[in-house]
Amino acid sequence: MSKSIITIDKNNFENEVLKSDKPVIVDFWAAWCGPCRMVAPVIDQLADQYSGKVKVAKINVDENPELAGMYQVMSIPTILMFKEGKKVDELVGARPKQAFEDMIQKSI
Cα of 84 vs its chain's centroid, Å: 15
Catalytically annotated residue among 8, 24, 25, 33: 33
Q: What is the pLDDT of residue 1?
A: 80
Map residue 92 onto helix, strand or coil: strand
Question: Is 18 an annotated catalytic residue?
Answer: no
Catalytic residue among 17, 24, 25, 36: 36
Count how many residues are written for the chain: 108
pLDDT digits (tens, 9 = 90+) for 68-81: 999 999 999 999 99
- pLDDT tens-digit series, residues 50-99: 999 999 999 999 999 999 999 999 999 999 999 999 999 999 999 999 99
Following CA atoms 41, 17, 62, 38 in sequence, which dihedral angle do they give, to the nearest 10 degrees?
A: -10
Reported as half-sphere exposure (CB side, CA atoms, 13 A), residue 20 has a value of: 24
| Domain chopping of the chain, boundaries | 5-107
Per CATH, domain 5-107 is 3.40.30.10: yes
* Active site annotation includes 33: yes
Query: pTM score, two decimals?
Result: 0.95
